[in-house]
Chain A
Amino acid sequence: MHLKYESFVREPLITGDKTYAQVTEDICKPIEQKPSKLWYVGFVLSLLFLGFGVFSVFWEVYWGLGTWGINRTVGWGWDITNFVWWVGIGHAGTLISAILLLFRQGWRTGVNRAAEAMTIFAVMCAGQFPIFHMGRVWNAFYVLPLPNTRGPLWPNFNSALLWDVFAISTYFTVSLLFWYSGLVPDFATIRDRAKTKLRKRLYGLASFGWTGTAKNWQRFEALSLVLAGLSTPLVLSVHTIVSFDFATSVIPGWHATIFPPYFVAGAVFSGFAMVQTLLILVRKIYKMEDYITLGHIEAMNKVIVLTGSIVGVAYLTELFMAWYSQVHFEQEAFKYRVFGPYWWAYWAMMTCNVVSPQFFWFKKLRRNIVFTFILSIVVNIGMWFERFVIIVTTLANDFLPSSWTYYSPTWPELGFYLGTFGLFFTCFFLFSKYFPVIAIAEIKFTLKVSGDKYKRDMQRLDAMTTEEFLEEANHAH
């Protein structure tokens, strides 16, 4: 008898009467089979997008930043919009893997592996934008504090943009370490059941020689816990620092103390939407419905409605503060934001981010897969518009009315954005083919507490008196 008790009132997290062996079988199967036709189609499509992205970036580097639509008034356009958007998407992965670990949320085990992979790929995509926005990209290393031959000159450590360099690179490194340390035991599982020599050799290499001794597992748990403890403030700091890029400036519309919490909430909001988009596909294509259940989807939808509402409150607070401050320029900035030349972007943002997630107050809709899938895409469109609204509408109507202008992107900017989708999905397709998309060891760990087979026994235990229960527990061995 398993002595960890979880009430049968709680929904089982693993359905379908699984045993440990069945869990291994289910999760390793896609890796050991030839991928489906759909996989090849998706992969080739992603590569095409990636190729177009590489060409667009080449065009920009070769001819210079003039090939982009940005100008002296609107110096930040799609590039920084996309950067903030991709970084935000990454945040859900860390929230699931780190913050939910600290809160001991059992449902994270079904989704954390794919969500963390999403984080890493999203941060990879995000990093491209500020780098290529530099124009002379071969000088990108100037942001690093290296001793150099340009005189003992250092970057400005007081600049929010330099903080970003440290924040994003730390975030990427720590996420990667966290993700890979969890993958090592799962690679060992694949290695030990490998039938072909090549698979045995490669997964042997990737598994670092893991065998799963009791002491190794003890250290594994200690490492996960501390990495989760480190990642939690880290993920909050990353989008806080991204928001400092705007908030520490003196531009009306940007210069607001509400930015850090508002950006973090928005990041989690868009990240969870992206997790939904990906996992609804993964569970369908790889038949993982027993591990990513409706309960998981509902739990994530609850996070979406919470963070979506926080974002909504933030939008309204901004408007209120603009009026309440009685600062003329602040008021004008928001007047142009809502009713100015980019009014359509503002209202697209409001509809997608504030109105649409409110549907998730209804349980029926939270558990409806098709609705969730569509809404997850709507939310991500909305969050892209949020960044566009903040960046472009603010800059387009700046201090001098004579330099006001309208910005629209050119094809290399569009191609660059599509290219990052290519990069993201190329990585995600490779991940879903060669990596266990669900954390095998962690699922097994929760199986006897949250598996439906074991939960049924809880009804019997719940009906027992304390004496009967102690009697059975003491005689179990």
Chain B
Amino acid sequence: MAIKKFAVACFDDEAPLFAAVDKVRNSGYKLHDVYTPFPVHGLDVAMGHKDTDLHIAGFCFGLTGTATALGFMSWIFTSDWPINYAGKPFFALPAFIPITFELTVLFAAVGMVLTYCYLNQIMPGVKKHVFHPRQTDDYFVLVVEVPEGEPEGEIMEFLAGTNPLETNVQVAEDGWWFGRWDKDEDYTKNFA
């Protein structure tokens, strides 16, 4: 969480964006992030992101659900309070399957969504800097970090070479904070 200076380039299509991402990665500049209005397939690979492990988390939560349901029902009906229901066995495994299945799904889904929110750092009340209001509409926004103490001129010239629609320089918080979206923060005054 720090306030930094960023060079921003906007595109209106995926094709020039991919070319620009390649160029930035080969140039040695630090690619801060790319913001797109919808999932662009292959962009994560082009940016060098590893595959997400979210589904592994989901599997673990699911197993927890299975164990919880099976363990709980077995404990209740065999040791805590065994009841004879129409002469059926106390440990009636086939009858435990529906609830076991439901809890597996429930735990996996809830756990995964919470993990997803945690990893993406999203939650009601969270605020992040929006580099361009159209990044959730029709712009593909590429953001490069300007190293501390360096002028942005060279980077801007470099970004202009990727044929963007528009470029600009912004000073912004690079993480998240709690805030209201109808109020604008001004970072420039505490940025030396």
* B27: A residues at CB distance < 8 A: none
Q: How far is the CA of A20 from the CA of B34 in the complex (A)?
A: 17
Q: Contact between A227 and B112 (Cβ–Cβ < 8 Å)?
A: yes
Known: A210-B122, A223-B54, A230-B108. A157 touches B81 (CB 8 A): no
Closest to A153 in B: B81
Q: From the candidates B39, B81, B110, name the one contacting A154 in the complex (CB within 8 A).
A: B81
Q: Contact between B109 and A209 (Cβ–Cβ < 8 Å)?
A: no
Q: Contact between A211 and B35 (Cβ–Cβ < 8 Å)?
A: yes
Q: Contact between B35 and A212 (Cβ–Cβ < 8 Å)?
A: yes
How many interface contacts (CB-CB < 8 Å) are there between A and B? 209
Within 8 A of A (CB), among B120-134: 120-130, 133-134
Can you name 27 A-B pairs with beta carbons within 8 Å?
Answer: A21-B134, A21-B138, A163-B98, A167-B98, A173-B109, A181-B116, A192-B134, A192-B137, A208-B122, A208-B126, A209-B122, A211-B128, A212-B35, A214-B33, A214-B35, A215-B33, A218-B52, A219-B119, A220-B39, A220-B120, A227-B112, A227-B113, A233-B101, A233-B105, A237-B98, A244-B98, A444-B38
Q: From the candidates A185, A201, A222, name the one contacting B136 in the complex (CB within 8 A).
A: A185
Q: How far is the CA of A215 from the CA of B121 in the complex (A)?
A: 11
Within 8 A of B (CB), among A154-168: 154, 156-158, 162-163, 166-167
Most A-side CB within 10 Å, residue of B83, B92, B117, B138: B138
Q: How far is the CA of A1 from the CA of B13 in the complex (A)?
A: 10
Tell me if B158 counts as interface (CB < 8 A to partner A): no
Q: How far is the CA of A128 from the CA of B12 in the complex (A)?
A: 49
Q: Mark B49-67, 1 if CB is under 8 A from A, else 0.
A: 1011011001000100000
Known: A163-B98, A204-B181, A223-B112. A445 touches B38 (CB 8 A): yes
* A166: B residues at CB distance < 8 A: 98-99, 102-103
Other A-B pairs beyond A185-B136, A191-B136, A241-B98, 12, CB < 8 Å: A154-B80, A157-B95, A166-B102, A189-B37, A200-B182, A201-B182, A209-B123, A212-B36, A219-B120, A223-B116, A226-B54, A230-B109
* B121: A residues at CB distance < 8 A: 209
Interface size class of B (residues with CB under 8 A): 35 or more
Q: How many residues of A contact B (CB 8 A)?
A: 72
* B176: A residues at CB distance < 8 A: 209
Q: From the candidates B19, B38, B109, B135, name the one contacting A477 in the complex (CB within 8 A).
A: B19
Tell me if B73 counts as interface (CB < 8 A to partner A): yes
Q: How far is the CA of A144 from the CA of B54 in the complex (A)?
A: 31
* A197: B residues at CB distance < 8 A: 182
Q: Contact between B15 and A476 (Cβ–Cβ < 8 Å)?
A: yes
Tell me if A410 counts as interface (CB < 8 A to partner B): no
Q: Contact between A216 and B37 (Cβ–Cβ < 8 Å)?
A: no
**Shortest beta-carbon distance, B136 to chain A, in Å?**
4
Q: Contact between B35 and A152 (Cβ–Cβ < 8 Å)?
A: no
List residues of B whose CB falls within 8 A of some A CB: 12, 14-16, 18-19, 33-40, 43-44, 47, 49, 51-52, 54-55, 58, 62, 72-73, 76-77, 80-81, 83, 85, 88, 92, 95-96, 98-99, 101-103, 105-106, 108-110, 112-113, 116-117, 119-130, 133-138, 176, 180-182
List residues of A whose CB falls within 8 A of some B CB: 1-2, 19-21, 24, 145, 152-154, 156-158, 162-163, 166-167, 170, 173-174, 177-178, 181, 184-185, 188-189, 191-193, 197-198, 200-201, 203-223, 225-227, 230-231, 233-234, 237, 241, 244, 440-442, 444-445, 476-477
Q: How far is the CA of A378 from the CA of B173 in the complex (A)?
A: 57
* A225: B residues at CB distance < 8 A: 55
* B80: A residues at CB distance < 8 A: 152, 154
* B47: A residues at CB distance < 8 A: 214
Q: How far is the CA of A162 from the CA of B100 in the complex (A)?
A: 12
Q: From the candidates B37, B43, B92, B134, name the one contacting A214 in the complex (CB within 8 A).
A: B43
* B110: A residues at CB distance < 8 A: 173, 177
**Shortest beta-carbon distance, B88 to chain A, in Å?**
7
Q: How far is the CA of A193 from the CA of B136 in the complex (A)?
A: 9
* A231: B residues at CB distance < 8 A: 105
